[in-house]
Amino acid sequence: MMHTGKRHRSPTPRLILVGILVVVLFAVALALPLERWLADMRGWLDGYGWQGLVIFAVIYVVATILLVPGVAITLAAGALFGLGKGTAVVSVSSTTTAALAFLIGRYLARGAIETKAAANPRFGAIDRAIGQNGWKVIVLLRIVPLLPFGLSSYFFGLTAIRFRPYVLASWAAMLPGTFMFVYFGHVAAQGLSGAKEEQSSISAGQWVLWVVGGAALVTATLYIARLTRRALSEPPGIESADGSEEVRTHG
């Protein structure tokens, strides 16, 4: 049966909800001693020198291996380490998680992961698409995930893709999103620190740069996501956002 097309849902309502959530979280952060907590955590990690980055990386890997969403930890990396170190430590940590979960799914807990995958209607379609398109589908699914990061990493271990191209594709595809969330965490921490001071040392020009930079990152990410979703509709076996499977047969 030939796929006859699908309707794309507008991302506007979701973006509005995300915007409201950001405002609420910032308001809560102002009401709590979050700036002091961040300072204490930063001081504790700085006391370990470069080993503080390793400690944070271990926390990230263990948490995401246990399927804890990594977004909050990524934001924390930006707040604690800044843009450069934060991006580096999260990039290494998330790639390590992707690799370990893949190996666990392929070798150590294959039976349990297969049972979990069989209960997920999207996995079969993703498995067929990866079998036909390999690392390219991994790149697309890392940019616009149809499954949560940790869960998908376990599932990918059941597919036919080889380990090295999987790791390289995952690292490259996750890097832009990592940079974006680390950036937001860094800017939020700087803004929170300034808001706690009676005389903020943050200039209007810095605020403009942060806002414009953040808007540019969001715009670029949404544009890439739109292109990726369009590309995901092409390979056989990829599901659409509404859960209906898109499969093309020949002959």
Look at residues 195, 177, 202, 185 and name the one whose alpha carbon lies nearest to residue 83: 185
Distance CA 43, CA 60 (A): 19
Distance CA 81, CA 85 (A): 6
Query: Which residue in this structure is represented by tokens 């907590």?
Result: 37
Rg (CA), the chain: 20
Going residue by residue through the chain, which has 251 residues, state the pLDDT in tens, using 9 for 90 and above.
334 444 445 545 555 555 565 566 556 555 555 556 666 677 777 777 888 899 999 999 999 999 888 888 898 898 889 899 999 999 999 999 999 999 999 999 888 888 888 888 778 878 888 888 788 888 888 877 677 888 889 999 998 899 999 999 999 999 988 998 898 888 877 766 554 444 445 555 555 555 665 566 556 556 555 655 565 555 444 444 444 444 443 33
Are the C-beta atoms of 166 and 156 separated by less than 8 Å? yes
Distance CA 19, CA 215 (A): 12
Cα of 247 vs its chain's centroid, Å: 27
Query: Which residue in this structure is represented by tokens 């309502």?
Result: 13
Cα of 10 vs its chain's centroid, Å: 21
* Predicted TM-score of the model (pTM): 0.69
